[in-house]
Amino acid sequence: MIRATIKKSAALLLGAVLVVGLASATYAQDKPVMDDEGFIFFINGANVQIPQLNGSVVADPLDPTSSNRVFLISYADWSESGFRWPSGGDRDSVGVDASAYTGMNYGETDTLYMKFLSDTSNRGKSDFIAFMDSDDDTNAPLDPDPFNENADLPFRLRWQIPADMHDGQWHEVAIPLPPSTKALLDSAKAGVDANGDSLEVEVDELFMGWNYAGAWAATSANGHWDESSPYWKEFDWEAVKYFGRHIDHADGGGPLYFDYFSIGVPPSELVDSAPAALSSISLSNADGVNTVSWTGASGVGGYNVYFSESEITDVVADGVVRLATVPFDGTLSVDHSITAPHSDLASDFEAYYAVTATSQFGSESAPAADMISADAKVEPSYAYELDTDGIDAVYEAIGDATIPDAATMASLFPEGYKPFTIDENRKYLENGNGLTVGDDDISAKFWLGFGSTDNELVIYAEVTDDALVFASETITTGAAWAYDSWELGLGNYTPESFIISSTHTEFWRGEDPDYQFRAGMRSDADPFVHESARDDVIPNSETIGETTDTGYRLLTLINTVELSTAEATASDELFDFPGSDEITLYPFNVAINDADDPAVTRETQLSWSNRAGGDTWWNTPARWQTIAFVGRNKVGISVEETADNPLEFSLDQNYPNPFNPTTKIAFTLASTTDVTLEVYNMLGQKVATLLQNQKMTAGKHYQNFDAGSLASGMYFYRISTPSFVQSRKMTLIK
């Protein structure tokens, strides 16, 4: 693991100018540690020591023609975005040790330096600069329900942005960090130290904005807001997983920008220069995969790889997408698969790529760019225009509250139709509190249809689930996601490209609206379907369902015209699905929620979109994937299309199994990525780490496992990448 440290050193550069440098070393330790001499998050680019960024680097909004680059965090309901230290999944992050920055008393802590701009639409809202610690005991929570008031949830430290700073202008602040506990912070605000003695100094006015805000819980009245909660915990400075913006409301708002953001490193010391541009890059194509490679340069912090469908001269221009960030010592190549959702879209096209070298703080060189002409692969991913008989059959089934048998439902779609499938071969972990053990635990197929006359949306779902836990009648539709159900995102607009997909980092209304639908069974009432912006049922829309021997089935009909009747969505453009000879592209994702224990509610959510992963797809359309809505006369699926798909992430069954004491684990990667491979016992305790955030190329890989030191029994092995998590069982017999 790379230790995240930043050292300050003096240098004589036209006088006494302090230059910030970066030192990296490899240590065998549980988590990265921030050095007590300071840490830079952002100057003109993000620090390469930060493993995950929720935000984007853009031009200065007040001076867009300048070379100044700033960090943009868009508005999203109930969200935290910024700089993260994940490990094997966001909820399970071990965080980063930042304890060197705090202390017992005011004046003994380090200082947070930042220059930020908050949009005027954020005025009067609960908008914070926040730190969040890790859920450091995810395998044994105080209450096994991760969404209940007694759960072992991450706790928060927040700084309230003053109302007068939501003015659309840049503000430079230097804020002393708070002492390490809530009681010590309260004492400092009262002007006394840990011993109760007077501080004898005036407390900075901005310091008063700090608050140890406790932990969120599903029931607001039962949140762990202060020590009165029996489950209150102090903020864990040794396991901080997130720094950035925290939006604690759903009242709307605008962007927040950071020009710089650092702890312990004042602006006068933020000296950073972009490296020289790379001389060239190399592009090649094989089996539908474009490979971008380049020769490394000395003294750089890493590299960024970009894609566009037009020539790249500026990496922050519209239509340019960052594919990957590669560390300075990583594999200097990136694979990019281009897949079309329908054969009519798979014609030859020109793909443009660029690579920039970054400084150790992320400041980028000019791009080295090139172009390659290539074919797109076809991965059929489309909704089908149902004919009049098919639409009538759906209405009749809804009226009778009885789903036709599976064969009849499939017959409404063309022969060879490929349903949207979430299973061992394609699933992206969104939220997990435990191991997903296979398709029999949770998997699903979705048939997506539409009517072109009245613009109905039809979703038929077959879900495999070995333990059914449905929401009760008393659970509101807005909270039904915590139980067995599905969720679906759909944007009513055509993205610029099926490759780039949506660029919305938050839900839009009006001409290009985004929607999130939820549907499911109820344990003691009729099934439901609703849309999250309305947070209630959709008029003239319905879900019917039934349980099966292996799970449950749902048939849902959504009257899209009604989506523009509620106050929250009244300005939205009406859907106009394509006719029989047309194809229209829409951004889309579908996910399944799995609750295996009534006392736990949702344990896992799995997504279909290959852009998903993490826990914010539901309000971030940019993480949806583009699919096609196809008229009846445009359907044509060939054997070549379905057989010639690009590599997909997968984890094979170990061989031999059962084994004694060695076995081989095989897995496939769809692209170059960081891989963690771990082994757990039946209690969920980790017993071996075979790979830890190791950069590996696309293709088939094999890993040997020697269990000579373990007792006989059943074990789980789990692979984790930034976008894919999968587990399987294996048996050791000695």
308-318 residue pLDDT tens:
888 999 988 87
- Do the beta carbons of residue 11 and residue 17 sit within 8 Å? yes
Q: What is the identity of the amino acid at 587?
A: P
Give residues with Cβ within 8 angstroms of 287, minimum separation 6.
Answer: 646
CA torsion angle 182 184 187 193 (round to 10): 180
The number of CA neighbours under 13 Å toward the Cβ of 411 is 7
3-59 residue pLDDT tens:
222 222 222 222 222 223 332 222 223 456 676 678 889 988 788 778 778 888 888
How far the first Cα of the chain sits from its last, in Å, is 33
Q: What is the identity of the amino acid at 138?
A: T
Which CATH number is correct for 382-643, 3.50.50.60, 2.60.40.1190, 1.10.1060.10, 3.90.700.10?
2.60.40.1190
Burial, 490: exposed, middle or buried (Cβ in 10 Å; 0-12, 13-18, 19+)? buried
Burial, 661: exposed, middle or buried (Cβ in 10 Å; 0-12, 13-18, 19+)? middle
Give residues with Cβ within 8 angstroms of 392, minimum separation 6.
Answer: none
Give residues with Cβ within 8 angstroms of 231, minimum separation 6.
Answer: 142, 143, 149, 150, 151, 152, 224
660-690 residue pLDDT tens:
888 888 888 887 788 889 998 877 788 898 8
- Do the beta carbons of residue 611 and residue 622 sit within 8 Å? yes
- Do the beta carbons of residue 339 and residue 611 sit within 8 Å? no
- The pLDDT assigned to 311 comes to 93
Give residues with Cβ within 8 angstroms of 271, minimum separation 6.
Answer: 17, 18, 19, 20
In 3-state terms, the chain is what percent helix, strand and coil (to 5)? Answer: 10, 40, 50
Cβ count near 713 (within 10 Å):
12
Q: Considering only CA atoms, which of 350, 353, 380, 378 is closest in space to residue 288?
A: 378
Q: Which two tokens stand for residue 496?
A: 């610029």
- The pLDDT assigned to 36 comes to 63
Q: Which CATH class is domain 650-732?
A: mainly beta
- The pLDDT assigned to 137 comes to 46
- The pLDDT assigned to 696 comes to 78
The number of CA neighbours under 13 Å toward the Cβ of 682 is 7
**From-to residues of CATH 2.60.40.1190 in the chain:** 382-643
**From-to residues of CATH 2.60.40.10 in the chain:** 281-377
Q: Which two tokens stand for residue 193?
A: 């130290």
What DSSP state is assigned to residue 666? E
Listed as ranges, residues in the chain with pLDDT below 70 are 1-33, 35-36, 86-93, 135-152, 216-224, 288, 347-348, 375, 430-437, 535, 613-615, 636-646
Q: Which two tokens stand for residue 197?
A: 């003695």
Give me the CATH topology for the region 281-377: Immunoglobulin-like (2.60.40)
The CA distances from residue 445 to 61, 390, 402, 565, 596, in Å, are: 44, 19, 19, 31, 19
Cis peptide leading into 656, omega within 30 of 0?
yes
Q: Considering only CA atoms, which of 715, 689, 604 is closest in space to residue 89?
A: 604
